[in-house]
Amino acid sequence: MAIRRRRIESLVRELLTTYKVSAAPVPVERLAKAHGARIFYQSLEDDMSGFLYRDNASAVIGVNTHHAPVRQNFTAAHELGHLLLHDQEQLHVDHGFRVRLRDDVSSQGTDEAEREANLFAASLLMPKEFLEADLASEESVDLLDDGLLCDLARKYGVSTQALVNRLKNLGYIQE
Ligand SMILES: [Zn+2]
């Protein structure tokens, strides 16, 4: 069940460099557009996070406006990840990202694709280098400080939970 971490990291770095993104928040919509995908924010069924529809010429990313803005950001980045990393069916629908992982009917391949899209989204929204710079500029970093975490999460347009997960992944917070 290995996911392509290196590939995802280098893809994200390439995107940020190509489109000269050097500070948070990362403009997911602009990056998607550059890859021929338009993002539509719309009212979808509650259990649906978003979807990716594509044909040969173009792609459409749908994001459910019933969910919090930080989740909408994550969904948009997740779908962009599918677009750039996966050759899936024409219409790919995402329900709650976590629920799917417990779904034993889904194939291993699908789980990997979901995990890769999640890793892509976290890496894109919270680039390693940006976090490093932000944390280096802090006089002393106390990652158990809710205030600091909230400020950072707001800056990156993510939930504090997503931020904490990312910081754990990068080794800033010990499990
Ligand atoms: Zn997905």
Residue 107: the pLDDT is: 46
Write out pLDDT tens, residues 103-118. Answer: 444 444 578 999 999 9
Tell whether 163 is covered by a domain: no
For the CA atoms of 73, 10, 128, 159, the dihedral, rounded to the nearest 10 degrees, stands at: 20
How many angstroms is it from 121 CA to the middle of ligand 1?
10
How many angstroms is it from 143 CA to the middle of ligand 1?
29
Tell whether 28 is covered by a domain: yes
Tell whether 74 is covered by a domain: yes
The tally of domains found in the chain comes to: 1
CATH number of 69's domain: 1.10.10
> Which of helix, strand or coil describes residue 124?
helix
How many angstroms is it from 69 CA to the middle of ligand 1?
18
How many angstroms is it from 17 CA to the middle of ligand 1?
25
Tell whether 108 is covered by a domain: yes
Write out pLDDT tens, residues 38-80. Answer: 999 999 998 899 999 999 889 999 999 999 999 999 999 999 9
How many angstroms is it from 46 CA to the middle of ligand 1?
16
How many angstroms is it from 146 CA to the middle of ligand 1?
30
Entry pTM:
0.89
Tell whether 148 is covered by a domain: no
C-alpha pair distances (Å), 130 with each of 93, 118, 134:
30, 18, 6
